[in-house]
Amino acid sequence: MADSSATEASTRRRRAAGRSASLLPVNGQPEAAFLGSAPANVRGGRGQAKRDRSLETARSDCHRTQESLLSSASGYNNYRGILNWCVVMLVLSNARLFLENLLRYGILVDPIQVISLFLHDPYSWPALCLVIVENMFILVAVYTERQLSKGSFSERVGFLIHCTNMAIMITFPAAVVLLVPSITPVGGASALSLYTILFLKLYSYKDVNRWCRELSTIKVKKLARSLSYIYYFIFAPTLCYELNFPRSPKIRMAFLIRRLFEMLFFTQLLVALTQQWMVPIIQSSMKPLEDMDLSRMTERLLRLAVPNHLLWLMFFYWFFHSSMNFTAELLRFGDRQFYNDWWNSETVTYFWQNWNIPVHKWCLRHFYKPLLRKGFSKIVSQSAVFLLSAFFHEYLLSVPLRMFRLWAFMGMMAQLPLAWLVGRFLRGNYGNAAVWISLIIGQPFAVLMYVHDYYVLHYRQEAE
Amino acid sequence: MADSSATEASTRRRRAAGRSASLLPVNGQPEAAFLGSAPANVRGGRGQAKRDRSLETARSDCHRTQESLLSSASGYNNYRGILNWCVVMLVLSNARLFLENLLRYGILVDPIQVISLFLHDPYSWPALCLVIVENMFILVAVYTERQLSKGSFSERVGFLIHCTNMAIMITFPAAVVLLVPSITPVGGASALSLYTILFLKLYSYKDVNRWCRELSTIKVKKLARSLSYIYYFIFAPTLCYELNFPRSPKIRMAFLIRRLFEMLFFTQLLVALTQQWMVPIIQSSMKPLEDMDLSRMTERLLRLAVPNHLLWLMFFYWFFHSSMNFTAELLRFGDRQFYNDWWNSETVTYFWQNWNIPVHKWCLRHFYKPLLRKGFSKIVSQSAVFLLSAFFHEYLLSVPLRMFRLWAFMGMMAQLPLAWLVGRFLRGNYGNAAVWISLIIGQPFAVLMYVHDYYVLHYRQEAE
């Protein structure tokens, strides 16, 4: 370790010299830079004595026993440059793919088409109506809490009302999406996601209020009544209700505008890349999938993996960094931990615990720990969490697509054995690589499954 | 900085927890892991008092003011996982390209064909003969030094003999390669490289001996005579002669075998990838190049850039790490600094100073500093170094290909303005990215130029 830091220090010094180097004396000491690797010799002057000294140092300086940086023995580990390399490589190879794609398909980007994903008929906005109806459920929850805090509802009654409220929150929108033909898959999925989020938020709301009553703290009564506060919670980028959220002192305008710009930019980019890059690949992979031509299927899967993964990364940044920070900044919501360093995760478990902190916090606080308290074992509780997550994944995909294939469900449940295998057999960077692979390969696989089934379904219908 | 280290510490702690997590209690504490983000609550038991405490901590613990990791304000900078990501992405996307390539071209790898690159006629080995002749020049150099050390040659005479010796070393092999038709480009290039290396080594040999005479140290006379010592120097992985090289205590067998394995493995890989990946692209890019179809040319250039760059990286590792360490280990040569952390270089200058340390050391010790001592300015001396390097690059390409296009020469000289531009306008990661881009794009550009001209030349000949 000391060794490595020493190496790094020296290399940093050299690089510093290199940085200040240039071909014009204008900036920095080119000599110091150019003679970086033998600074002792810089003094090598014209006089004999001087030359001798410089020569002595030269000889002592020219070679010395040392390991190559890439030898494990050197303890060197500064690969900062690789990050830039990977960015450059990705940009270039994708620039190439983009050009090839353009030469083959021409321009497929069509922003108007996006609207058609949300609306069949511009005069009916079923998804939007669904979203507006959400307020009902909020009001019911608040009303119940008020009665409970006043004591005019018994705990049991309150519990029953909350349960029915939530049960309806899950079933009603699903029924609407399934039965109303004018709802598009995308519109339906958006509406259901919003309902799911609200479900989790209100669940947390009722739990926390109950806990507070158990603690019989005074301020609960006041807060439980304030509608403004619960609406703040509904819009705040968190799923865990609290009586006093940490607030940031002021809205940083520059920050807000940067995030807003990112949001707009990535929205455009996501749409464009999907239309120009994803769709052609998916369409071209339908035939191999139907013929079950394995080698071509694999080729298509891997071809899809890259854009799919990049889009997912962009989506992650767009949603968890740009959008959530934007909302938080707007609401002066203090806690910006929307994700953790999942990119370093060496176990599947660590990934699921850290890529989506709001959901993780909720599961921990309102599902996993209550289960533990009820005396369930850790494995059972953890599996239950994955089961819940699997249910919601399936719920958010199958219902809008109006087909029940359980791919997403199985995909999530497959995380359990995967997590066990990785945690059991792979450590450090191998574990990390395994997590990445499962992400990069797993997703497009599920996507292909659904899209394929969806296409087949619709082709068949057209055929009939 | 403290902030960042703090963040890292905490994330490391969390990751440690995550690592020890698994779905079986067998290894680690799943609870500690799963409750990683709220460890205080682990104690949440069944008793009312306990629940209250756990609840208090829960509320205090659930949210707290903090920045997102990706916000610059967080000072977080641990992206170790990205390295694995980039490896995985490269492997997968190249696996895809490989599969696509196989489906399109079938298997093109043909190890026998490699031999034909070195030999037209298996009964004449002109390149090998050239290499054997090298010994002559070594002997001449040693003989001259002996006479000089005995004083039976005057400095002037010695200098003249050395000069003629070296002049012949550069011209004679070039003449042979140009005139003997049975020498293949690859064979010629290899022979000329070996001559260039020897040229640099003997130049250093004569310089150091002169310096030592100037210092009139005794041991010089002894050493200057020993043939074994100069042959050690000839085979040692350095270009800078010294009177006593640092030696490693013993040959580490495991290390030696690992390097040997790497050498063999990468040789195979380089050949296979060139035949299967580079050649088809180059051939397919001949037509666009002749039609001057710009968009397709760019597409082909970028398509070539990736394999070319990867091959170059492999070559770098194969030559500068595996081979040189192998030789060094075998000769118990202590100084293993064959390259420096050029991958982090933020200026073009730093890259050229650190990717090839043996040459850099030589230029510094025997070319740049002597020029400085002669009173030339730094810019002039530095340009002279690039000029010399450009000359040798051109020499090693044009002569074996038997066509003088100056692409390599211009490529090297272009480094001067490029270095100035980058050093002047780009800093930190932008500089680093610029260096990477110049590497990734610059090389295939030169390659395409040469290959194109070479093909055209030969097609024309066939046409006639």
Task: Report whether pLDDT(A446) > 90.
Answer: no
Considering only alpha carbons, which residue of chain A is nearest residue B430? A84
Query: Taking CB atoms and an 8 Å cutoff, what residues of chain A touch B254?
Result: none
pLDDT tens sequence across B222-239: 555 678 888 999 999 999
Span B141-162, mean pLDDT?
90
Q: Which of A124-128, A186-190, B374-378 has the lowest mean pLDDT?
A: A124-128
The whole-number average pLDDT for the span B157-168 is: 94
The residue of chain B nearest to residue A431, with distances taken between CA atoms, is B19
Contacts of A299 in chain B (CB under 8 A): 96, 99-100, 103
| pLDDT above 80 (res A393) | yes
Asked if pLDDT for residue A179 goes beyond 70, the answer is yes
Q: How far apart are CA B161 and CA B240, in angstroms?
A: 20
pLDDT at A39: 36
Which of A27, A67, A295 is facing B99, going by the closest CB pair? A295
pLDDT classification of A5: cutoffs 50, 70, 90? very low
How does pLDDT run across B318-349, given as a tens digit for each residue?
A: 999 999 999 999 999 999 999 988 988 889 98
Nearest neighbour of A80 by CB, restricted to B317, B344, B349:
B344
- Of all residues in chain B, the percent with pLDDT exceeding 70 is 83
Interface test with A, best of B56, B89, B297 (most A CBs within 10 A): B89
The answer to whether the beta carbons of residues A175 and A186 sit under 8 Å apart is: no
Q: What tokens appear for B401 in the block? A: 């290909």
Instruction: Say if CB B76 and CB B8 are below 8 A apart.
Output: yes
Compute the nearest-CA separation of A400 from chain B (Å).
32
Q: Tell me the chain B residues in contact with residue A437 when contact means C-beta distances shorter than 8 Å.
A: 88, 92
- Please tell me the distance from the alpha carbon of residue A215 to that of residue A221, in angstroms, as a whole number: 12
Task: Copy the structure tokens of residue A124.
Answer: 């009916």
Query: Is A238–B63 a contact, with Cβ atoms under 8 angstroms apart?
Result: yes
Percentage of the residues of chain A whose pLDDT score is greater than 90: 36
- Given pLDDT bands bounded at 50, 70 and 90, which one contains residue A251? very high
**Residue A146 pLDDT:** 87
Mean pLDDT taken over chain A: 80
Q: Does residue A208 have a pLDDT over 80?
A: yes
Main-chain phi, psi angles of B7, to 5 degrees: -50, -50
List the single best residue of B22, B284, B415 to mutate versus A (max A Cβ within 10 A).
Answer: B22
Which residue intervals of A216-278 are DSSP H helices? Answer: 218-225, 227-235, 253-273
| Reported confidence tier of residue B119, pLDDT bands at 50, 70, 90 | confident
Given a cut of 50, whether residue B19 has pLDDT beyond it is no
- The percent of residues in chain A predicted with pLDDT above 70, rounded, is 83
> In terms of DSSP H, where are the helices of A119-184?
126-150, 155-179
Q: How far is CA A11 from CA A21, A23, B13, B74, B271, in A?
A: 15, 21, 29, 26, 34
Specify whether the CB–CB gap between A341 and B69 falls below 8 A: yes
pLDDT in tens, A332-389: 999 999 998 899 888 998 999 999 999 999 999 999 999 999 999 999 999 999 999 9
**Mutation site for B-interface testing, chosen from A42, A214, A350 by largest number of B Cβ within 10 Å:** A350
Q: Is the pLDDT of residue B67 over 90?
A: no
Question: In chain B, what residues touch A424 (CB-CB under 8 Å)?
Answer: 22, 24, 26-27
Q: How far is B279 from chain A (nearest CA, A)?
A: 18
CA distances to A26, B94, B313, B315, B419 from B308, rounded to whole Å, are 36, 13, 9, 10, 22
Contact B80 A344 (CB under 8 A): yes
- Name, in order, each residue with C-beta under 8 angstroms of A129's C-beta and a sequence gap of 6 or more: none
The pLDDT of residue B40 is 35
Please give the Cα distance from B252 to A267 (Å, whole number): 56
| Chain B residue nearest residue A307, CA to CA | B93
Q: Cβ of A23 and B423 within 8 Å?
A: yes
DSSP annotation of A344: G
Do residues B423 and A21 lie in contact, with contact meaning Cβ atoms separated by under 8 Å? Answer: yes
Nearest 10 degrees: Cα torsion B335, B339, B345, B350: 80
The distance between the two most distant Cα atoms of chain A, rounded to a whole number of Å, is: 103
Q: Which residues of A are catalytic?
A: 393
Residue B2: per-residue pLDDT: 39
B30 to A378: CB separation less than 8 angstroms, yes or no: yes
Give strand pairing partners of B333. Answer: B247
In this predicted model, what pLDDT tens digit does every residue of A297-337 receive, in sequence order? 888 888 888 888 989 999 999 999 999 999 999 999 999 99
Q: In whole angstroms, give the CA distance from residue A263 to residue A319.
A: 8
Verify whether the Cβ–Cβ distance B44 to A344 is below 8 Å. Answer: no
Q: How far is CA A359 from the centre of its chain?
A: 12
When mean pLDDT is compared across A47-51, A60-64, A147-151, the lowest value belongs to A47-51
Could B424 and A24 be called an inter-chain contact, meaning their C-beta atoms sit closer than 8 Å? yes
Q: Does residue B90 or residue B6 have the better pLDDT?
A: B90
Q: Is the distance from CB of A450 to CB of A185 less than 8 angstroms? A: no
Other CB atoms within a 10 A radius of the CB of residue B175 amount to 12
Please judge whether B65 and A334 are an interchain contact, meaning their C-beta atoms are less than 8 angstroms apart: yes
Contact A452, A403 (CB under 8 A): no
DSSP for A37-83, please give it: T-GGGGG--SSHHHHHHHHHHHHHHH---B--TTSGGG-----HHHH
Annotated catalytic residues of B are: 393
Residue B402 has pLDDT above 80, yes or no: yes
Q: Parse chain A into domains and list their residue ranges.
A: 125-249+315-463
Residue of A5, A52, A62 best to disrupt the B interface, most CBs of B under 10 A: A62
Put simply, the answer to whether B22 touches A420 (Cβ < 8 Å) is: yes
Type of residue at A261: F
Angstrom distance (rounded) from CA B278 to CA A191:
50
Name the minimum distance, in Å, from the CA of A336 to any CA of chain B: 5
**What distance, in Å, lies between the first and last C-alpha atoms of chain B?**
69
Is the pLDDT score of A185 beyond 70?
yes
Interchain CB distance below 8 Å, A353 and B34: yes
* Model pLDDT, residue A37: 37
Q: How far apart are the C-alpha atoms of B117 and B115, rounded to whole Å?
A: 5
Q: Are A137 and A168 in contact (CB under 8 A)?
A: yes
- CA distance readout (Å), A128 to A132, A188, A443: 6, 10, 29
pTM of model > 0.80? no
pLDDT band at B217; cut points 50, 70, 90 = low
Question: Considering CB atoms only, which of B64, B215, B341 is closest to A52?
Answer: B215
Query: Quick one: average pLDDT of A12-31?
Result: 38
CA distance B172 to chain A (A): 31
Using alpha carbons only, give the angle B300, B389, B355 rounded to the nearest 5 degrees: 70
Q: How many residues does chain A have?
A: 464
Residue of chain B whose alpha carbon sits nearest to that of A366 = B58
Question: Which pLDDT does position B124 carry in this prediction?
Answer: 72
Is the Cβ pair B59, A87 closer than 8 Å? no
Shortest Cα distance from B334 to chain A (angstroms)?
4
pLDDT at position A218 is: 57
What would the pLDDT profile of B28-46 be if each residue is shown by its tens digit? 333 333 333 333 333 333 3
Across the interface, whether the CB atoms of A339 and B69 are under 8 A apart is answered yes
Cβ contacts of residue A324 below 8 Å, gap of 6+? A237, A336, A338, B68
Q: Do A248 and B65 touch (CB under 8 A)?
A: yes
Q: Which residues of chain B make contact with A38, given a CB cutoff of 8 A?
A: 361, 364-365
3-state secondary structure of B250: coil
> Which residues of chain A make contact with B26, given a CB cutoff of 8 A?
424
| C-alpha closest to that of B447 among B265, B272, B289, B270 | B289
Chain A environment of B313 (Cβ under 8 Å): none
What is the SS3 assignment for A119? Answer: strand
